Amino acid sequence: MPRPRRIAILGAGAWGTALALQAARAGNAVALWTRDAARAAAITEAGENTRYLPGQPLPPAITVTTEAGAALEGAAFALVVVPIQHLRGVVAGLPPGGCPLVVCAKGVERGTLCLPLEILAQLRPQAHAAVLSGPNFAHEVAAGLPAAAVVASRDGALRGLAADLLGTSGFRLYGGDDPMGVQVGGAAKNVIAIAAGAVIGAGLGENARAALVTRGLAELSRLAVALGGRAETAAGLSGLGDLLLTTTGPGSRNTSLGMALARGTSLQDVLASRAGVTEGVETAPALVARAAAAGVELPVCAAVADLLAGKLTIETAIGRLLARPRRDE
């Protein structure tokens, strides 16, 4: 029998909508779920997600719903595309049983210090699960511009199914068997991007940004290995690839936040002006705490966490990094 060609997307933000468009482009029927009835009605009426992806019409293959059970029924798998701090609540509210889950959240949960698949393992220990990550801006994927990502799971059949049903010639999906390394890359890159934006916003130049991003990549790699991942994953799409995009692309919310902070805008004012979530803000202290528990030092990420908490100014944060003892690379 042919495999089902139906995919559920849980979360109707920019990235969830972009993935819905990509799933439809790949030939699937798509159920796009949001728990916000007003948003569902607005998207259906406008034929596009005017709040998060204006100008990208949704094809007839995409149906918007507020019923999670209806979205999941008959789906080959569900892409869970909600911010990490809301992931637990969304997954806990899903009906029992159901299809495999592919998490598209990046970050570390406050309080528990859990990564995305660790949250799923607590709530759905029997579920087949994977994580999708990589250097992807939602508006570019929505427009069909070339992109690549990785689907990582210990379940080879699931990562193969996800790549087969979601991938196209313009959206290349690679499989990966190091979900821990992929998750650490997705979490750390947002924090490092805030630091990179602060360096540029403070007028310290491209040399400084390149040095900071390189040292941030080393931090990312050390933490991935300490948590059971592989160092080489840090050099792939979910590590170096995502880090390059997020620290240099003008559309990066995390980089632009760092730039704004360095130019004197308060954190509260930056966040209040945005519709989307800037994941690095909540992830920074949680990531540093998770690393400390594993005995790993993250100087760049720790400086970002202190900057966001108001414990450091941009100048003192940079000064602290530059004052670290010299050693061989």
- Residues 129-143: pLDDT tens digits? 999 999 999 999 999
Please, which pLDDT band fits residue 277 given cuts at 50, 70 and 90?
confident
217 and 150 co-located in one domain = no
Under 8 Å between Cβ of 146 and 79: no
DSSP, residue by residue, 59-128: PTTEEEES-HHHHHTT-SEEEE-S-HHHHHHHHHTSPSS-S-EEE---S--TTT---HHHHHHHH-TTS-
Q: Domain end: 117, 142, 177, which one?
A: 177
87 and 12 co-located in one domain = yes
- Does residue 182 form part of some domain? no
100 and 225 co-located in one domain = no
> Mean pLDDT score of the chain, rounded to an integer?
94
167 and 25 co-located in one domain = yes
268 and 155 co-located in one domain = no
30 and 172 co-located in one domain = yes
84 and 135 co-located in one domain = yes
Could you tell me the CATH number of the domain that includes residue 201?
Answer: 1.10.1040.10
> Taking 60 as the threshold, does the pLDDT of residue 281 lie above it?
yes
pLDDT tens for 212-238 read: 999 999 999 999 999 999 999 999 999
Structural domain total, the chain: 2
- Judged by average pLDDT, the poorest of 3-12, 37-46, 66-75, 284-293 is 3-12
- Does residue 302 form part of some domain? yes
The reported pLDDT for the residue numbered 328 is 67
94 and 196 co-located in one domain = no
Q: Domain end: 177, 200, 234, which one?
A: 177
- Does residue 218 form part of some domain? yes
| Structure tokens given for 202 | 């403070």
The fraction of the chain above a pLDDT of 90, given in percent, is 90
12 and 143 co-located in one domain = yes
The DSSP H or E segment spanning 164 is helix 156-166
The fraction of the chain above a pLDDT of 70, given in percent, is 96
| Structure tokens given for 303 | 């400086």
- Does residue 1 form part of some domain? no
Q: Domain end: 147, 177, 207, which one?
A: 177
197 and 135 co-located in one domain = no
The reported pLDDT for the residue numbered 98 is 83
Edge to edge, the sheet with strand 6-10 lists 62-65, 29-33, 6-10, 77-80, 101-103, 129-133, 147-152, 171-176
pLDDT tens for 49-94 read: 999 999 999 999 999 999 999 999 999 999 999 999 999 999 999 9
Please, which pLDDT band fits residue 1 given cuts at 50, 70 and 90?
very low
pLDDT tens for 93-128 read: 999 888 999 999 999 999 999 999 999 999 999 999
Could you tell me the CATH number of the domain that includes residue 42?
Answer: 3.40.50.720
- Expressed as residue numbers, the domain containing 138 is 6-177
Q: In this structure, are strands 29-33 and 147-152 parallel, antiparallel, or unpaired?
A: unpaired
94 and 170 co-located in one domain = yes
The reported pLDDT for the residue numbered 321 is 76
Please, which pLDDT band fits residue 8 given cuts at 50, 70 and 90?
very high
- Does residue 276 form part of some domain? yes
- Judged by average pLDDT, the poorest of 155-164, 213-222, 310-319 is 310-319
**C-alpha to C-alpha distance for 282 and 268, rounded to whole angstroms:** 13
> Taking 70 as the threshold, does the pLDDT of residue 33 lie above it?
yes
The reported pLDDT for the residue numbered 250 is 73
| Structure tokens given for 88 | 């637990």
194 and 222 co-located in one domain = yes
Under 8 Å between Cβ of 159 and 175: yes
CA-based nearest residue to 43, from 70, 32, 8, 90: 32
- Does residue 328 form part of some domain? no
- Does residue 327 form part of some domain? no
- Does residue 74 form part of some domain? yes
| Catalytic status, residue 311 | no
> Taking 80 as the threshold, does the pLDDT of residue 249 lie above it?
no
The reported pLDDT for the residue numbered 272 is 93
DSSP, residue by residue, 277-307: --HHHHHHHHHHHHHHHTT---HHHHHHHHH
Select which of 25, 39, 159, 189 is catalytic: 189
